[in-house]
Structure 1
Amino acid sequence: MASAGMNTVAVGIAVQSDWDNRHFSSSLSLNVRRLFEFLLQFESATRSKLAVLNEKLTVLERQLEYLEAQFSTAVNSS
């Protein structure tokens, strides 16, 4: 009878251990998914902000080229 009680305890411990391992794996999987989603959102937002900055930089470069051309024309006319 003591042997049956020990087997029940061993099975209970094994079941609890299996449950703990499954819970840990599930939590890990969920957190990896969350991290991946965050990285995707971060990448998307970063690309968008870089595109806006690139447009602004292009406008500034064109304005600078225009001003340089005007300055060059004014210097050469004098």
Structure 2
Amino acid sequence: GGGGSANLGAAVQADWENRQFTGALALNVRKLFEFVLQFESTTRNKIAILNDKLTALERKLEFLEAQHSSVTAP
């Protein structure tokens, strides 16, 4: 009878370790997913800001080109 309880104890221990591993893995996957979402949000915001700055620079350049062409026009 003692061997059976030892096998059961080992099986319970192995099951517990598997559950701990699975739980830790799930937690790390969740953390990674949250990081990716935050990174995407931050990156999207920074790109939008850069896009606005680029648009403003393009408008300034067009204005300066128009001024230059009107000054140099014969």
| Number of residue-to-residue matches in the alignment | 74
Tell me which amino acid in the other structure corresponds to 1:10. Answer: N
Indicate yes or no: 2:50 matched with 1:45: no
The share of aligned pairs that are identical, in percent, is: 58
Distance 2:62 2:16 in 1: 68
Tell me whether 1:14 sits opposite 2:22 in the alignment.
no
Counterpart position of 1:55: 52
TM-score (norm 2): 0.97
Asked whether 1:75 is paired with 2:72, we answer yes
User: Unaligned stretches of 5+ in structure 2?
Assistant: none
Deviating 4+ runs (over 2 angstroms):
none
**Residues 5-45 of structure 1, C-alpha deviations (whole Å, 9 max, x = no match):** 10010000000000000000000000000000000000000
1:28 equivalenced with 2:25 (yes/no): yes
CA-based RMSD: 0.6
Find the partner of 2:61 among 57, 61, 64.
Answer: 64
Q: Which has the larger Rg?
A: 1
TM-score, with normalisation over the residues of structure 1?
A: 0.92
CA distance in 1, matches of 2:25, 2:8: 25
Amino acid at match of 1:39: V
Q: Distance in 1 between matches of 2:10 and 2:72?
A: 90
